[in-house]
Structures are given as C-alpha cells and as structure tokens.
C-alpha cells in the first residue's frame, strides 16, 4: 500500500511539473508576442500576478508538508 501511495505522489508531482512548465512556456511566448507590438500602456493589477516559479514553490511546499505529516519524509 505504501508503494502505491509513493507512486501516486510521484505521478502527481510529474503532472504538476508538466502543468507548471506549460504555464511558464505559454507566458514566455505571450510576453514575446506582446513585446513585438507597440506599447499599449500598462494594465493595472498585473504587478502582483503569481509567476510560475511561485506556483512551483507552493506545490513543492504542499508535497513536503504532506510527506512530513504522513511520515514518508524523515522516517516513521
């Protein structure tokens, strides 16, 4: 049962990594497309939008907290 749980966590981490990688890629491409056009002025509220790295850090934090709480990380 423990192996199944570890496999499921690994699969979830791989899927989360792929989603974050896709989000980063699309944001980079979109930023490049916007820079090709003339400036249209800044949009309010975009300063504090979460970046892909911030999302990855939150996902990693959740995985570590879950592992520590369940005893998978740090021994039983």
Tens of pLDDT, residues 35-64: 665 555 555 555 555 677 778 888 888 888
Residue 56 covered by a domain: yes
Residue 45 covered by a domain: no
Residue 12 covered by a domain: yes
Question: What total of structural domains would you count in the chain?
Answer: 1
How many Cβ atoms sit within 10 Å of the Cβ of residue 27?
A: 13
Model confidence pLDDT, tens digit, residues 29-41: 887 777 665 555 5
pTM over 0.75: no
Residue 43 covered by a domain: no
Q: For residue 62, give its domain range.
A: 2-37+51-70
* CA gap 48, 60 in Å, rounded: 20
Residue 32 covered by a domain: yes
Model confidence pLDDT, tens digit, residues 1-23: 888 889 899 999 999 999 988 98
Q: b vs e for 34-73, b when ≥16 Cβ sit within 10 Å of the residue's Cβ?
A: eeeeeeeeeeeeeeeeeebeeebeebeeebeeeeeeeeee
């Amino acid at each position: 049962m423990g192996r199944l749980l570890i496999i499921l966590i690994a699969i979830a981490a791989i899927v989360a990594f792929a989603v974050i990688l896709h989000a980063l890629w699309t944001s980079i491409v979109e930023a490049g497309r916007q820079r090709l056009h003339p400036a249209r002025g800044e949009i309010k509220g975009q300063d504090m939008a979460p970046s892909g790295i911030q999302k990855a850090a939150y996902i990693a934090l959740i995985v570590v907290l879950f592992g520590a709480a369940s005893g998978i990380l740090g021994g039983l």
